Amino acid sequence: MTNATHLECSLTGERYAAGQVHNLSRAGKPLLVRYDLEAARRTLTREALAAREPGMWKWRELLPNEGGPVSLGEIETPIVPLTRTGGANLLVKDEGRLPTGSFKARGLAMAVTMAREFGIERIAMPTNGNAGAALAAYGARAGIDTIVICPSETPEINVTETAAYGAHVYVADGQIDECGALVGKGAVQGLWFDCSTLKEPYRLEGKKVMGFELAEQLGWELPDAIFYPTGGGTGLIGMWKAFDELEAIGLIGSKRPRMYAVQAEGCAPIVRAFENGEEFAERWEGAATVATGIRVPKAVGDFLILRAVRESGGGAIAVSEQAILQAVEDTARDDGLLFCPEGGAVLAAWRLARDQGLVGSDETVLLFNCANGNKYPLADRSKRLELAEAEPEALARGT
């Protein structure tokens, strides 16, 4: 049985019944799932967790599903030190190990699980890439029809991967929020259920498990700072919620990491709003970046992202395209980890924050690599070899 007691508007606090289908609140803002934390406190102990099978579903007292999950084997992703890139205190949680190769698997596993519980037969969403693939994969697993609309700049591998899972995939002109408007129109007409970022309550609940996991993996001591690639911001918002829930049931104390929302200079609405002291972020016109996962001109949860970074004492940082690509190259060469562009953005932001004195060399910092770098185009740096003329000595010199 779920411990969910009700849902709550993230802006007004208005309550909504659990066990019913919801999208946004009447105020047009995301709904947050609330739980019986006293009940969870009795059974969700450190000892009980250690005895359970690893994976995101072991946190069942703080998840909304009542029945069996729609699962593709969601592991606990490892935390790996970037020793040569940044030293022993620089850690990365490598989410590219999840099904469909990205952290989108967490949120969509939960959203599709709840859609199946509610008897929903068709779901739709806009995507810049990895979310669409995850929706399609879990939709296929659940036997639910899926429709995905991608901006034209979406990487081809993401488009073809999504279609491979049987989704109806459309590539459209315009940005992701414009594709989302079309999804919303179809939802109003009753043609499908809208699974867009934060426009239903349960993707957030899947993504927040990242916060649960890192707390347990780090011995129930949260890092000093977390750098997170921020488009729609579901994971950042979810982790902030997760930390409150963990404290409420006695698994951690009141310490919180400084949360840094990372964006690209070519699409940085959260950074601009943070620097201007605004509660909501205006739409970013002409959005463009190689890190397509954070190319989100307008996020429905903008105020929740800004609230989390301000309450934590963190901030919002924009990085250049050159810095993103250099970071991807550096981690692959120096530490053997192939980051996605969004992961590169996070490392670039940490470097900028370090240079500005926002983080200290003795502080424990956790970065998020949100997808497998093999899913993205890579430069060919190989050299051609004529075997008849090859000399091992020259090869050893790299010539």
Mark the ranges of the chain whose per-residue pLDDT is less than 70. 1
Query: Looking at residue 184, what is its pLDDT?
Result: 95
Nearest to 34 by CA among 59, 15, 57, 11: 15
Q: In what order do the strands lie in the sheet with 122-126?
A: 168-172, 145-151, 122-126, 193-194
Q: Whole-angstrom Cα distance, residue 81 to residue 89?
A: 7
Q: What is the pLDDT of residue 394?
A: 87
CA 107, 112, 118, 123 torsion: positive or negative?
positive
pLDDT at 162: 96
Q: Where are the alpha helices (DSSP H) in the chain?
A: 37-43, 46-51, 83-86, 104-117, 130-142, 156-164, 176-188, 203-207, 209-217, 234-248, 269-276, 302-312, 321-335, 341-355, 392-397
Alpha-carbon distance of 143 to 121, in angstroms, equals: 8
Nearest to 45 by CA among 225, 314, 246: 246
SS3 92: strand
Please, what CATH class does the domain formed by 79-101+205-375 belong to?
A: alpha beta
Backbone region of residue 24 per phi and psi (left: phi > 0; alpha: psi in -120 to 50; beta: other values):
beta
In three-state form (DSSP H/G/I as H, E/B as E, the rest C), the secondary structure along 362-381 is CCCEEEEECEEHHHCCCCCC
**How many other β-carbons are positioned within 10 Å of the β-carbon of residue 174?**
15
The torsion of the CA quartet 137, 139, 141, 145, rounded to 10 degrees, works out to: -120
Give residue 199's region: left, alpha or beta (phi > 0; psi -120 to 50). Answer: alpha
What is residue 1's predicted lDDT score, i.e. its pLDDT?
Answer: 53
Q: List pLDDT tens digits, range 202-239.
A: 999 999 999 999 999 999 999 999 999 999 999 999 99
Domain locations in the chain? 79-101+205-375
**pLDDT value, residue 397:** 86
Distance (Å, whole) CA 18 – CA 22: 9
DSSP 281-296: -PPPTT---S-GGG--
Q: Give the CB-side neighbour count of residue 179, counting CA atoms within 13 A.
A: 29
Q: How far apart are the first and last CA of the chain?
A: 64
Decide: 213 and 251 in contact? Cβ < 8 Å. no
